[in-house]
Structure 1
């Protein structure tokens, strides 16, 4: 088939008719999965070629003042001024409208003002979808232009996006006759973040988390960063609980990996969530779960609540692993309380540096081991125990218990009449001495003195005040003595008058916190 080629010097010469030529459409592709019959294919190819290129223009030289769109260009600044100047705005819009360009003119103008501009060489044979030109000064868009010159032509080019497609504006420098070519759909920005960590780990050692961020889109991603706030209970080996990782710029198809180690404070299930974001407002997040297993040690301390001074006291320690992983080299330590002595330590307990230590080679989950020791303390007070246990993995735990070491109270009461016998009508003084012979203090000691009818109360006093019962006057009561320390003595004196002759008995009853039943002392006096 023959076709007519319009010879048009888009930048210079006028058109003329060339010798008819045969051509084949280079844009048709035969699929491996579908093939047309040869005759039908050739007929379709030639018909399509004729339809597409019947109006083709050939440009053979550039720079004709009568047909060029604007003055020749010598700098990028001139290009920007050409496509953004108000004086050319209507002409640019007319060219793009005639070319049926589907983009937005303002997108082109904006890109012309700030997009990077590159140098381009258009070799002979370059096909252009259209080219701006002028006819009688009016803007004209020539469709389907072939550069048929003998040498490459220098041009400026910049790329931009309009209505979700990529475009390239190319302007030959000798004539400023620009055209816009389609570079395909706008590449999408996309970001992918992945995370990997072991499904099950031990709290006894750090484990690794790997984060990988990839540019899975078609545009350069910038200022890519990954944020990983660790779940409560996880921290890096240097104690950080928040990680901010910088990946920088990622070209399409490239990525960056980050690896770091963390340690779990306790057993449990941990869900780690990381986030990735780029300056192009694309983001992704990745989740991963790990189960942390760990031994958990507990110790219980048991001792009697009270014991007498000098008696043996047994304390027993029960060590248990309540976790879900075994622990090894478990050390149980019990210091010897001050003022006491160790009598024995069963099951391999070793006394060194004032403490008893037991070592358990392994303690499995759910196991409990009991270890006991016997102590003795001779002075009253508190026998306080503080045990600690620590494994190769589990942290230190402590437990305490105590035994009150009670002294033995022993009270001696003595009463002596300082004159005997006593003549009726005269006075006699009784001296009362209370001595704590035991090892425990006596507290709230109170005396009650009873006079017979043959005597009457005159006065009294001593360690505490003494008063007579108002009703009868024959029962004398002292104020309580708060404390009588071991080996200490308290003294009172009571003066009475002999009212009648006879063998008289002066009775003293002592009570205290330690002795609810009275301790009684009786002193006899002969009155005549």
Structure 2
């Protein structure tokens, strides 16, 4: 059974044509319907529109003029006829005509009694009934168009009017001032460990994490006791300037330590508007190497000709590594180098070891052997130095002693000798040792066949009353490798195998030295 669709509100039909500007009047395919009170008395057969004909209806709110001054434009499109029991679908298009958003858009459709809704896209919203369909579209963007498709089944023949209306709200008249708030953060970095001689670089990173410009930013740092700037200050203020939102800037200072220890500290960033931020706490440990040195000689006394050996120990007693450690031993003028432990170099009279790094509480052992070149005292000094450590030294003293070794020789210059002639006896005393001989005394004994004539030498001789003993005054000293010669002249009185005896004493000798020279006196 066929029917004709009538729109409510704005409606116009022309076969095969869609219209953008309806003249806003009620109508159907052929002509205007009769007045409502006349419809029951007019019996005209419903005309059959062309099969491809579409009915449209639209409205523009609130002016009924789509092109001027309206906000929402609603357009409905559907077939102008349908059949009972067969699916009938139509479309509602809703357009925001403005260049601003429209809020709370809701389409309400009055459904005819001879139409049963099967489905819609989007689905009908809350408040929908069999006679009323509602779609809450919410906010619509400028120039946005939404489409609603409704499908259902006509249940009776006759007119099937669908009437739609739209409700909406315009956005309020608003001003939107931007309220900004700058916010500061500060991060502080410093080395975890330094040597007492190192500078301490401290860096501050100030960031504006807020939404406004932070002006007149300053970093304030009060250095803990034991730290100060290069010019001796402890209260430090650094200018940062201004920071835009999201901007960061680094400022730095260089500190130095005046003592060892652990130093903890925080900094503060301040700016206009009572802005303030506190940094993280940094901890810096200041260490220092402390050197100690010992030097031990093999003996405090040695005899000339024997070596002196030294054990040198350098220890780092501090809490920081002793880097670039150098040990220097100055060889005295009265000694020469025999050998030194590995790594040593000799330049002039200085033996040098480049030890490198000695860790805290570690030691380095070195050895040196010297040969004394003369009697006396050998003073040997060694010095150790390292980066950031005070130089230390050690000195040893060794007495170099000599040993006197006295050689006694007696020579008869003429052998054999005729009776009546004179014999010269030469007495030679030589110090073959390394030390000076002292208080050397020579005594000569003559046998009966001899008669004293004369004597000479470095000391004066005297003859005993019987003429058989010649005694020379003691020679106070005789240097090492030196000699002294005395001479005694005797006369041969009678023939025989005679002996000229010499007795010598010296302070270092435990007993006298005796030497006898044989001479043949003949007649």
Q: TM-score range by the shorter chain?
A: 0.3 to 0.5
Larger Rg: 2
**What TM-score, normalized by structure 1, do the two folds share?**
0.40
More helix by share: 1
More strand by share: 2
**What TM-score, normalized by structure 2, do the two folds share?**
0.40
